[in-house]
Amino acid sequence: MLVKAADAGEYARSEASGGNGMSISAETEFELAVPPGITVPKPSEVAGYLARHADLAEIVPRACGAALERVGRAAQLSLELFRDPESDDEYLTLYVRQWAYAPDLLDRIEALSADLCPEAPDAAGLLLITTDFQPPRRP
């Protein structure tokens, strides 16, 4: 799946009208190749975040690919923009969802995150790999 900048522009314009001052041109050249097997329920939100944090654009596809290898294709991996309702914080989250959760899942997620950390020491954006212990959702 490709997440395109045109989506990001639409998203950013609606965000900018909310008073946060962010604006992204719809003509911005930006694509994110997400490996097959990764769900992106709201691609415009993901594209908007990555357009503002381009330093993550190379890391996210590698992280998604590594998550597919380590967690397995039995899990649903969903790349989403998390917005903290109590603050202005927002960051990308790769949720790992399964029907039956293995006891070592958190250990595998932690190891994956630790292995990817050195790739983004100075990144302005954030990618969190975690689970919300929910069942897989419909794409």
Going along the chain from its start, the domains and CATH numbers come out as: 35-130 (3.30.70)
Task: Give which of 46, 37, 39, 41 is closest to 4, Cα–Cα.
Answer: 46
Strand order in the sheet with 76-83: 38-39, 76-83, 90-97, 127-130
Interval 90-104: pLDDT, tens: 999 999 999 999 899
- Output the CA–CA distances (angstroms, integers) from residue 105 to 81, 113, 120, in the order listed: 22, 12, 23
Positive or negative, the CA dihedral 20, 81, 106, 124 is: negative
The encoded tokens of residue 70 equal: 């380590």
Interval 22-57: pLDDT, tens: 333 333 444 567 888 899 999 989 999 988 888 888
pTM of the prediction? 0.74
93-110 burial string, b = 16+ CB within 10 Å, else e? bbbbbbeeeeeebeebbe
The encoded tokens of residue 50 equal: 């990555």
Q: How far apart are CA 135 and CA 114, in angstroms?
A: 25
Q: How far apart are CA 123 and CA 105, in angstroms?
A: 26
Interval 53-84: pLDDT, tens: 888 888 888 899 999 998 877 889 999 999 99
